[in-house]
Structure 1
Amino acid sequence: MKYRLIYTALLSALVLSCGGGSDPDPDPDPPVVIPAPSAASLIFPDDNTECNEGTIVNETQSTVTFRWSDSENTDSYQVNLRNLDNNNTSRTNSSINSADITILRGVPYEWFVVSRADGTNETASSPTWRFYNQGPGVENYAPFPADVVSPERGATVATAVTVSLVWAGSDVDNDLEDFEVFFGTDSAALASLGTTTESTFDAAVESGMVYYWRIVSRDSQGNTSQSEIFDFRVQ
């Protein structure tokens, strides 16, 4: 009888300890959503102008303060800068809406700003602007290298007997004279198709071929600049 009472007491304790369930845990807090940054608006150096502000470092270099507007939901910025003469690029990080960068004098550049936010991989890029950094004794600048419009680099175009090459040219001095079109199937040996005062040129093509083209821009003073080499394929 004694052992039966002990067994009953132990069984009752076990039932009490296991039978009473606690309330379920409340729903966990929803994950924090980090809003994507917005794109900055560029301020200085201005687009298609001569940059004549900056601190001269030496005969070949000056330090320019790049400025842009604050963008929403942004913790840091990256200034992307490209030398249009040799295509060398640089990236400068900043936690504010400006950055002092030392660059070559008398050289054309293009730049844009990438906005970043902590906690997300999403970014936003500003438009791209071009400028000439003022150089000693330069009275007239060469045109900016022409930009491709169409066909875009690496594009495939429908079968045709001619393709319209379209580009955009610009010049700080607003004295663009003409463009010379170089074209062919060998990027190392492009042939001149002639010159034009327009920003388009029809080139004869054949199906199944890859073509390369480049534009040489010339101003009224005889200054020239070469674009990058663009390519496209004909179906």
Structure 2
Amino acid sequence: MTRKYIKLSPLLFLLIVLTAGCGKSSGGGNIIPPPAPGKALLQLPAKDAVCTTGTIVTDSTSAITFTWKAATHADSYDLAVKNLFTGITATQNTTALKLVVTLSRNTPYSWSIISRSKQSTDTGQSNTWKFYSSGPGAAAYAPFPAAITSPVFGASITATAGKVNLTWTGSDVDGDITGYDIYLGTQTNPAKIRSGVTDMFLNDVAVQTGKLYYWIVVTKDSKGNTSNSGIYQFSVK
């Protein structure tokens, strides 16, 4: 038997070798995403306290310094300060670990930090703290507005045997909260359904399926001061 051999030119042989090599995976194709920024740790103004370190700007405003600890993998921060009387939030960005903001005196605020990174679209969210900016002649401060925890605004919930549970959190720099009044109804000015609740929850509240409900928590202290959570709403499936 006569064997036949095909002669390959050096150039064609090299092309075949390179083509075969391209079909093999190098195993290095996985892209590792950049790390997300961490959570900043708040420092000042202190949680649930009266801030007395501000510099008075006018009779009605003070310049208050906010400070926090650096978050991992972050290169800038958004400081969000919310006026708890008006519900308006002001946000400023900085690359530093402190920022001076001019605020109304004798007013409750909450604040938090969002950590950002140029390398990632993810962000880090700090805790949220409340404080009072000190005011002239203030011997006592009203409670902070209650923070509604459940049902949250706009929630659609299922009633159990025609009843739902309401929860919130309250705090006060003077530590003298005496109770909470709860308002609930299908109108935007709901009626009071319970007075002087000493817990931060109210269970087995009767509701109807298919209805939209509005509710408010009013916090009271021993000196007769009050604060209003603002109106929240939820629907019952």
TM bucket, shorter chain: 0.7 to 0.9
Q: Distance in 2 between matches of 1:44 and 1:138?
A: 21
CA drift of 1:154 comes to 2.2
CA 1:58–1:19: 2 relative to 1, 3 Å: same
Q: Work out whether 1:53 is the aligned partner of 2:64.
A: no
The match for 2:74 is 74
Q: TM-score, normalised by structure 1?
A: 0.85
CA drift of 1:145 comes to 0.4
SS of the aligned residue for 1:114 comes to: strand
CA drift of 1:123 comes to 0.5
Q: TM-score, normalised by structure 2?
A: 0.85
CA drift of 1:150 comes to 1.8
The match for 1:88 is 88
Q: Which range moves more in the overlay, 71-80 or 196-205?
A: 196-205
CA drift of 1:72 comes to 0.8
The match for 1:9 is none
The match for 2:130 is 130
Greater Rg over alpha carbons, structure: 1
The match for 1:168 is 169
Q: Distance in 1 between matches of 2:32 and 2:95?
A: 23
What RMSD over aligned residues (CA atoms) do the two structures have, in Å?
Answer: 2.2
Q: Distance in 1 between matches of 2:29 and 2:75?
A: 25
Can you list the C-alpha shifts for 1:63-87, whole angstroms capped at 9, x where unaligned? 1110000111111011011000001
The match for 2:212 is 210
Matches within 5 A, 1:1-235: 21=15, 33-159=33-159, 160-187=161-188, 189-195=189-195, 196-202=197-203, 203-235=205-237
Can you list the C-alpha shifts for 1:124-166, whole angstroms capped at 9, x where unaligned? 1100000001111111000000011222222222233222222
CA drift of 1:205 comes to 0.9
Q: Distance in 2 between matches of 1:121 and 1:35?
A: 10
Instruction: Note the residue ranges of structure 2 that are not aligned, 5 or more in a row.
Output: 1-8
Q: Which range moves more in the overlay, 112-121 or 202-211?
A: 202-211
SS of the aligned residue for 1:145 comes to: coil
CA drift of 1:201 comes to 2.4
Q: Which range moves more in the overlay, 196-205 or 68-77?
A: 196-205
SS of the aligned residue for 1:122 comes to: strand
- The percent identity for this pair of structures is 36
Instruction: Note the residue ranges of structure 1 that are not aligned, 5 or more in a row.
Output: 1-14
